[in-house]
């Protein structure tokens, strides 16, 4: 492990040479606390001078998964809300897996992503304002098919690609990495809240996140049809990870930037869903769940309970992932 740091220890963060200045800490842990306590930040060693993605410990706890009673417009797929108890803490990557992090996996393993094997993926077409299929597009490219920055969240990745990255990271570190369950994902985003949105019950309370603001024009001067009025986050599409304030428990970009694969198979609603927080998986399922809003999302997809079905083999410019590491 590298540099176990409680949140708020600025000097320790400086000693660890954090890549970007961090926003104000989401929660404090008393200095001198031993072990992987909630709020601790760390990375697992991959090689002598190489480390895996930065992680933060999420506490055990109980919450209501699904649309809250105040959310009268929530679809049936987010109901019924039900109690879930996560009996053990877990670590989660603070940010979405980046292009640089995915590139290290490819270089080490020789893995070929699904988009590489099928010959293309979906990019954003500026003329039509839609996602369209483009040949030769894979994880090395961004939302419009140009070479991607290393600190962008990796996109054009299928469920199997995310699964393969987690398996590689587990082998390299000797620790168990995996995609989060749907319950773990929503629990971390909510961070103890029971509101419609992560920031409250009203859209106007929105804090910064990479969404579709009417102040962020396309390079050709066009704007989103679903733009959020009076809002600008500084990026019309993908943004580098960790450019906005952290969520309540110290994660970044669960609101906006890219939607994220989780482990669960798609079910039309939460009837008979497990109460343990484990992934709800049926052998051979063809559709998985994606969670979270993205750079082309409006307010409706920014609700804490938002979920969407996605074919497991789909790749596009709005979809990435983050991981959980078991403790």
Within a domain: 312:
yes
pLDDT of residue 91: 98
54 within some domain:
no
Considering the domain boundaries, does residue 23 fall inside one? no
Q: Say which CATH number the domain at 78 has.
A: 3.90.1580.10
For position 11, what pLDDT does the model report? 30
Asked if omega into 23 is within 30° of 0 (cis), the reply is no
Number of domains in the chain: 1
Phi, psi of 103 (to 5 degrees): -65, -40
Q: In 94-228, at which residue ranges do the beta strands (DSSP E only) sit?
A: 120-125, 130-135, 177-178
Range of the domain at 212: 60-86+99-326
Q: pTM of the entire structure?
A: 0.88
Q: Return averaged pLDDT per consecutive 10 residues of the chain, 327 residues in all.
A: 37 33 34 66 89 97 94 94 96 98 97 98 95 98 98 98 98 97 98 93 81 92 89 94 95 96 98 96 96 94 96 98 97
The pLDDT assigned to 25 comes to 36
Is 241 inside a domain boundary? yes
Q: What is the pLDDT of residue 72?
A: 86
81 belongs to a structural domain: yes
Residue 217: inside a domain, yes or no? yes
Please report the pLDDT score of residue 48 as a whole number: 77
Distance, in Å, from the CA atom of 151 to the CA atom of 238, rounded to the nearest integer, reads 10
pLDDT recorded at residue 205: 67
User: What gap in Å lies between CA 151 and CA 98, rounded to an integer?
Assistant: 6
Q: How far is CA 15 from the centre of its chain?
A: 27
Q: Is residue 27 part of a domain?
A: no
Look at residue 113 and tell me if it is in a domain: yes
DSSP state of 213: B
């Amino acid at each position: 492990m590298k540099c176990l740091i409680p949140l708020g220890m600025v000097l320790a963060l400086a000693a660890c040479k954090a890549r970007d200045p961090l926003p104000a800490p989401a929660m404090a842990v008393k200095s001198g606390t031993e072990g992987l306590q909630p709020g601790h930040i760390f990375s697992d060693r991959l090689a002598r001078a190489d480390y895996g993605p930065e992680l933060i410990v999420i506490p055990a706890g109980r919450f209501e998964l699904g649309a809250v009673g105040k959310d009268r417009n929530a679809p049936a797929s987010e109901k019924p809300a039900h109690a879930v108890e996560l009996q053990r803490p877990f670590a989660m990557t603070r940010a979405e897996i980046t292009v640089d992090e995915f590139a290290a996996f490819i270089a080490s393993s020789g893995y070929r992503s699904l988009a590489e094997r099928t010959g293309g993926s979906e990019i954003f077409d500026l003329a039509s304002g839609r996602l369209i299929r483009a040949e030769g597009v894979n994880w090395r490219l961004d939302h419009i098919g140009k070479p991607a920055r290393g600190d962008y969240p990796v996109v054009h990745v299928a469920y199997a690609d995310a699964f393969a990255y987690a398996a590689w990271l587990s082998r390299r570190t000797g620790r168990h990495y995996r995609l989060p369950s749907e319950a773990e994902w929503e629990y971390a985003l909510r961070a103890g809240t029971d509101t419609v949105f992560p920031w409250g019950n009203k859209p106007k309370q929105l804090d910064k996140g990479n969404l579709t603001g009417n102040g962020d024009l396309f390079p050709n001067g066009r704007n989103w049809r679903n733009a959020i009025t009076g809002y600008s986050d500084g990026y019309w599409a993908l943004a580098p990870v960790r450019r906005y304030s952290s969520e309540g428990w110290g994660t970044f970009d669960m609101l906006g930037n890219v939607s994220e694969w989780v482990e669960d198979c798609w079910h039309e609603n939460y009837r008979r869903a497990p109460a343990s927080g484990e992934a709800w998986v049926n052998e051979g399922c063809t559709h998985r769940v994606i969670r979270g809003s993205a750079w082309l999302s409006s307010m409706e997809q920014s609700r804490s309970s938002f979920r969407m079905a996605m074919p497991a083999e789909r790749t596009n410019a709005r979809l990435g992932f983050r991981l959980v590491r078991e403790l």
